[in-house]
Amino acid sequence: MKQAEAQEIQRKIAQETDVDKIEKLRGQLVTINNEINNEIERVENLVNKHLTAKHAEAVKKVTRLQTELQLQAIEISKDESLTKKERNEKIQRLRNRFNGLQARKEQSLSKDGIMKFRSDFTLLQDTDKARYDAIVDQASENILAKKGDSHEITPKELDAEAYDIFLGQEIENNNNQAANVEGAKVTQFKTTEEFIKALRAGVILPLEIEIKNEAGETITIPNPEIESSIQFLREGADGFNIGDEVYISLENRISNENGCRYC
């Protein structure tokens, strides 16, 4: 995978001290990034032909974000004002974000990712009519609550809202079942903003961390992982894990699963 090659070169640049070797590595990185840009064009052509507008834009946005992260990594590798350790730490944070974006993009473009829940929902009115009817009734209430009692609900928007409700239920149930089987502690937030609020309150990560400055003194600074985690969520991440504890935004999870609702 070209992205992986680029990441490996970025890692080598951050660790290398020989100027000539660094310049050679940077040349290799430019070549790979040009190949990645060609891949971006290919992805854009693919999604424009086969995916819905909403899903296509989401995939293209993720691909562009990945390119921006790679460019940031190149600039960091050139920044002589940073120590080698600081460059490595900054590039590693970018690499973590890149990998998370890549995993979600690959899942959304896979046939399984696109069709995973849609077929189950289509069959629900035959396999569990009581649940299907309850979901449709709730969908009608949700739409009228948003648009007013006089609004005439179209079949398309009713199906869309009902599918969102179904996705939410399935995802929440699957997350709970996975936690029971794997022994992980799962915390699910209904909205991404609730997730972010918990991060800013220090519920998930410590608000401050201790580091040693260049003089070897221990100082306290704001935890940089909080803002990077918030940005990760705003870019559409489902969530993340800290050891055996898993934190999930149901809003993002539903949105990611729902990217190709009408494929």
**Same domain, residue pair 175 and 232:** yes
Low-confidence ranges of the chain (pLDDT < 70): 1-7, 36-60, 104-117, 119, 178-184, 243, 257-263
- pTM score: 0.48
**Same domain, residue pair 56 and 21:** yes
**Same domain, residue pair 146 and 83:** no
CA distance 39 to 3: 10
Domains in the chain: how many in total?
A: 2
Q: What is the pLDDT of residue 47?
A: 47
Which range marks the domain in which residue 219 is found? 114-260
Q: What is the pLDDT of residue 97?
A: 81
178, 186 Cβ separation under 8 angstroms: yes
Half-sphere exposure of 60 (CA within 13 A, CB side): 15
CA distance 204 to 222: 14
**Same domain, residue pair 131 and 230:** yes
pLDDT in tens, 150-175: 999 999 889 888 988 888 888 888 77
Domain stop point among 109, 144, 171: 109
For residue 186 the two structure tokens come to 């799962």
3-state secondary structure of 222: strand
SS (H, E, C) 47-62: HHHHCCHHHHHHHHHH
